Structure 1
């Protein structure tokens, strides 16, 4: 029986389309499997997540080891050995933990990873940041399938506890002897989704401060007007904080500064009152009152100035007030007396930045203006070691839903992100300029 040329071509393209669909289905299924592992605090299933990552490493023939700097907090480290191990390596970092979810507020269960008719994958961690960790692996899978071999060695780190500060995860890793032997030249870590078509990119981040203000005063009858009662003094402080917050927010609203360029202050809790079986005692003014605030400082802010404001305006001792301040203080090189956080270079003369722009463009993407990350990530610990770190999560045309109800990522956007990382890893690992690696560390 003779088969026409057109029939052969039709069969060939049908095979290609079918294979592509099947491959995409497998990729999405692996993503769903990772999302279905409940790694939410306070009881994240870290070992289950580690087992899943290691199973993927085995399927890709990558080197792997589990490091446990703190019991119950496994760090999974993967390795794709490059042809020239004398060159500084590339580190792709991600965290396996996620924040808790209020299940009743979700339209789909947060750990089922359901896909709706639009292709949106609903799951806690779909944006922050299990997507990135799996995209690294899928990009390497594609590169290996194509026969590509890296010149530089690639490491992938899957760390715990980023959502609660990272001190028992990424911080422990960066301070270890194992890390120093990895000879890391550049780190990629998480970024944020972008509501428009450009990808967001971050070269620094704000430092996290936790402030608790406590007011004290004599208790009294609920009907009597007192000067300097605990609640009155605390309310004065809250109003002072509110005015400062408004002044910072106004600059963002006016387009004068980006969110990551101002000091943000948000109240996290308010606590006072005398409990009763039915609620609170209403005719008794409490002798103590507390309020807690989450504060974020951009790297170019003056910490001393804010501390002075706290002690003199927000919690003055003259109003029977005290405060407790916990702050992240970045390490600084011995020749840096500024006390400010590290930032990663982004100018056009910087090799890694140029490579990133080139890679994204090759994958038909576009980078936005470099930003300061408005929150804090594990990238700070790598920068503390003098290593440049770039925040990048390839999610364009996507609402920002990290830590929000109904967090989702569209499967088409997830697949496009894999192409982005494939291009980036290929560019980074093919770069052989070692002199600029050294220079970039000195610039930090």
Structure 2
């Protein structure tokens, strides 16, 4: 059946990308790579695929600048999307159905195939207008962001292939904004650490009140974590952004054999996201102190101990941020920048000492990342291209 959208080439390219089911688990990225190769060929741009991990391709499309010796700009997005529960969707999640009033229903319409296509369409417009940019622009499409990016952007950002791109600034994802005038952007992330504390004690019969039990020690540890959590919760209640708060959550308790037997050991596992405002070394020392105070034979081990995440300055000292901010204001719009409450691939770029800003140029949109019936309105998608076209030209000529 023909629709009024069928002759809109911009929308048809977007829908073609959305219809590729690059969904976890066990993603097959081949169709994404083929689609992106076709786009690069149409734009007459250099196309490269780096497969540093088998079946985990990183695609880079390059538009060389007039001064290629200058540090380049990286526009990054990820190809993968999270799983779907089709029974909860109004339309099939990989049909890219457009309603009569202009909503595109599809997994990835917000997170984040829309942003990847906005990057490509902005470049397409600039090239078609005959504009040449000073800085080289690389448009990257990476795998596995939705499962941590370890074999995607992390591996790539640490490679010699990445170093040769000479990146000076990176754009990554934020989230669509529900505001009609103010974008959401991210300049950093909290540091994710997951740890397990094990408390050993004297086993025995549960009918007695014994000394030096694992339960007493574990109770002390859990109470300390929960007291700290309560204080951080107050910050949220007083209006702090989630990204500015250190979150602690007890996620797993293990131990014991039988209800009437005192266990030889008990353990508790915690998921922790440390705010950039926190002194990370002092925070770890505090936890070690709790373990010591709980008694003998209390130990701490990490499941994951990420390095302290870097942030990109937004205090006027970072030139690329200044250009982005001014460009947005000059359009009569605004931008609200804060610490990302979750994680994105931008953290791996910042670890290389490269400034990065998460920026999804989409306004007036309900936040439906990972949700049922993820959707994006055609008008907001096209306005996002308008914005990215102006931003990219300003940044690449900075």
Pair 1:64 & 2:47 matched: yes
The answer on 1:212 being equivalent to 2:200 is: no
Paired residues of 1:363 and 1:423 also in contact (CA < 8 A): no
Counterpart-to-counterpart distance in 2, 1:234 and 1:106:
44
Alpha-carbon distance in 1 for matches of 2:300, 2:280: 16
Match for residue 83 of structure 1? 66
- Is the alpha carbon distance of 1:138 and 1:271 closer, same or farther for their aligned partners in structure 2, counting shifts above 3 Å? farther
Cα deviation for residue 359 of structure 1 reads: 2.7
List runs of 5+ in structure 1 lacking aligned partners.
1-19, 275-280, 331-340, 432-444
Match of residue 326 from structure 2: 358
Contact persistence 1:240–1:314 (CA under 8 A): no
Shift of 1:70: 1.2
Cα deviations across residues 145-187 of structure 1 (Å, max 9, x unaligned)? Answer: 2222222211111112223332322222222222222222111
Structure 2 regions of 5+ residues with no counterpart?
A: none
Return closer, same or farther for 1:305/1:99 CA change in 2, 3 Å cut-off: farther
**TM-score, normalised with respect to structure 2:** 0.85
Matched, 1:344 2:312: yes
Aligned to 2:394: 427
Whether contact under 8 Å (1:270, 1:291) holds in the other structure is yes
Residue 281 (structure 2) aligns with: 304
Whether 1:131 and 2:98 are equivalent positions in the alignment is: no
2:362 corresponding residue in structure 1: 395
- Select the residue among 89, 105, 129 that pairs with 1:146: 129
Larger CA deviation: 35-44 vs 73-82:
35-44
1:349, distance to aligned residue in structure 2 (A) = 5.6
Residue in 2 aligned with 1:15? Answer: none
Distance 1:33 1:413 in 2: 18
* CA gap 1:167/1:225 in 2 versus in 1, 3 angstroms: same
SS, match of residue 58 in structure 1: helix
Change (3 A) 1:234 1:53: farther
Residue by residue over 1:75-107, the C-alpha shift from the partner in whole angstroms, topping out at 9 and shown as x without a partner, is 101101112212221111112223334445544
Select which of 31, 48, 57 maps to 1:48: 31
Separation in structure 2 between the aligned mates of residue 218 and residue 112 of structure 1, nearest angstrom: 61
Deviation at 1:388, TM superposition (A): 1.1
State the Cα deviation string for residues 196-226 of structure 1 (Å, max 9, x = none).
Answer: 23101222221111223445668889x9576
Mapping of residues 163-312 of structure 1, within 5 Å: 163-197=146-180, 198-215=182-199, 234=218, 237-255=221-239, 257-269=240-252, 290-312=267-289
Q: Distance in 1 between matches of 2:62 and 2:142?
A: 15
Aligned length: 392
Residue 168 of structure 1: SS of its match in structure 2? helix
Hey, what's the Cα distance between the residues in 2 that align with 1:226 and 1:107?
59
Equivalent in the alignment of 1:5: none
* Conservation of the 8 A alpha-carbon contact between 1:90 and 1:429: yes
SS at match of 1:372: strand
Of residues 119, 144, 157, the one that matches 2:102 is: 119
Superposed displacement of residue 235, structure 1: 5.8
Where in structure 2 are the equivalents of 1:11-30 lying within 5 Å? 25-30=8-13
Partners in 2 of 1:122 and 1:391 — Cα distance? Answer: 24
Please give the secondary structure, in 2, of the residue aligned with 1:425: helix
Once the two structures are overlaid, the 10-residue window that deviates more, 29-38 or 286-295, is 286-295
SS of 1:169's equivalent in the other structure is helix
1:352-379 Cα distance to aligned partner (Å, 9 max, x none): 22321233245453212x3112222221
Compute the displacement of 1:398 (Å): 2.7
Q: 2:19 matched to which residue of 1?
A: 36
Q: 1:400 to 1:141 in 2, by over 3 A?
A: same
Separation in structure 1 between the aligned mates of residue 209 and residue 19 of structure 2, nearest angstrom: 55
Q: Taking structure 1 as the reference length, what is the TM-score of the superposition?
A: 0.77
CA contact (8 A) 2:217 2:295 kept: no
The answer to whether the aligner puts 1:156 opposite 2:139 as a matched pair is yes
Q: Comparing 228-237 with 179-188, which one deviates more in the overlay?
A: 228-237
Paired residue for 2:351? 384
3-state SS of paired residue (1:27): helix
The CA RMSD measured in Å over matched residues stands at 3.1
Contact 1:127–1:402 (8 Å) recurs in 2 = yes
How far apart are the structure 2 equivalents of 1:285 and 1:194?
A: 53
